[in-house]
Amino acid sequence: MDRSMEVFVGRLGKNPELRYTPKQTAVCSISLAVDKEGLEAADWKRVVVWGRQAEICSVQLKKGSELFVQGRKELKTFQTKDGETKTIEEINAKLVGFSNL
């Protein structure tokens, strides 16, 4: 498992999605478009925010909001219903910053 630190700024591609674990811990999923210098297409990042910070993100952020994220990159492997193995990269956020201006 790759757990290297990531720091980046991007814009939300859709509204945040808040859910709760069975133990009632808040989890907010964010899809973030990060511009890469010299490229026309954005680099999309899956970001997961936990706890009170997740609840704040779900209330304060909306599609198009600019966001600063610092967190650990994790590679997750799973099997689809068809039995195909897939790997996705996800950022487990430690720190999220944004402005409501």
Ordered domains of the chain (ranges, CATH): 5-98 (2.40.50.140)
Query: Per-residue confidence at 40, pLDDT binned at 50, 70, 90?
Result: confident
Nearest to 10 by CA among 57, 42, 39, 55: 42
Rounded to two decimals, the pTM is 0.82
34 neighbors 42 (Cβ within 8 angstroms): yes
Do residues 60 and 54 make contact, with C-beta atoms less than 8 angstroms apart?
Answer: no
Helix (H, G, I), strand (E, B) or coil at 36: coil
What is the CA angle 99-32-6, rounded to 5?
A: 90
Report the percent of the chain where pLDDT is more than 90. Answer: 75
**Of the candidates 4, 100, 96, the residue with the CA atom closest to the CA atom of residue 52:** 96
Give the mean model confidence (pLDDT) for residues 96-101: 76
